[in-house]
Structure 1
């Protein structure tokens, strides 16, 4: 049986609500790793469609059905693939390219976890402190409007 490797290209979606709280989720395979929605682009799939699909799969929120606006920040990050996940990618693939998106939700959406242990709604600063990756931290900083910051 041939091993199907992941593409080293993903979508990251920062979800925040009308109060500026950011949704962060705890990974099942590494409980120290908290993150926003993220997922690999499938063959032939556009990053925008990956973002829509991953939010639906990981949280149960259907952005289009709910009438939310998915924002493509037209920004990509490149980061080194963690050693513990290297086996998922073709041999010799050191980096992943991540497309950054965000969506503002009402905040009363039912969250249905399928790939994570727990979730939290945190203020912007706390969310930036909680997430594991630098690229996720930067995405929260850049995507969640500053009007939600304490004065």
Structure 2
């Protein structure tokens, strides 16, 4: 039996103290750049998803005490790309996305597991590069301006 994805996800905008944004290129679409994102699993709170996905996708183990992920208190809904709708239960066309952000040391090693490339970009360049409108808005709103 096919396991469908839940139409709930966490988006984690990662930036460093120079206000550069970490973007990842998807392995199934070379034109699709994004922040860390992943499905909220059954029994998991969105903040737990955020910590898990940062670890799984880029290999950064965040400590909720010393390097906490910030809940941006933003929830988006967006239409799931038609090419990915088969991954969700029949009739599901909308995803609910919980937005988070975190500032990390830009020199931390990045270990990709689900993506083909990463780049640290200026806030403006990142806004222009990401595919998703909700990702664009999250970067614009939650990454500070460079001092």
Taking structure 1 as the reference length, what is the TM-score of the superposition? 0.95
Counterpart-to-counterpart distance in 1, 2:25 and 2:65:
24
Tell me the equivalent position of 2:58: 59
What's the CA shift for 1:42? 0.4
Counterpart-to-counterpart distance in 1, 2:69 and 2:31:
28
- The unaligned stretches of length 5 or more in structure 2 are none
Tell me the equivalent position of 1:117: 116
Tell me the equivalent position of 1:41: 40
Structure 1 pair 65/78, CA: closer, same or farther in 2 (3 Å)? closer
Instruction: Kindly provide the CA deviation profile for residues 81-114 of structure 1, in whole angstroms up to 9, marking residues without a partner as x.
Output: 0011001000000100000000000111000000
SS in 2 for 1:32: coil
Supply the RMSD in Å over aligned alpha carbons: 1.2
Tell me the equivalent position of 1:78: 77
Q: Which one is further off, 61-70 or 15-24?
A: 61-70
Counterpart-to-counterpart distance in 1, 2:89 and 2:129:
30
Counterpart-to-counterpart distance in 2, 1:41 and 1:90:
15
The yes-or-no answer on 1:90 pairing with 2:89 is yes
Counterpart-to-counterpart distance in 2, 1:66 and 1:115:
27
Instruction: Kindly provide the CA deviation profile for residues 36-95 of structure 1, in whole angstroms up to 9, marking residues without a partner as x.
Output: 000000001000000000000000001118931200011101000001100100000010
Counterpart-to-counterpart distance in 2, 1:45 and 1:143:
24
Structure 1 pair 111/65, CA: closer, same or farther in 2 (3 Å)? farther
4+ residue runs over 3 A deviation = none
Counterpart-to-counterpart distance in 1, 2:7 and 2:118:
26
Tell me the equivalent position of 1:132: 131
Q: How many residues align?
A: 147
Tell me the equivalent position of 2:104: 105
- The unaligned stretches of length 5 or more in structure 1 are none
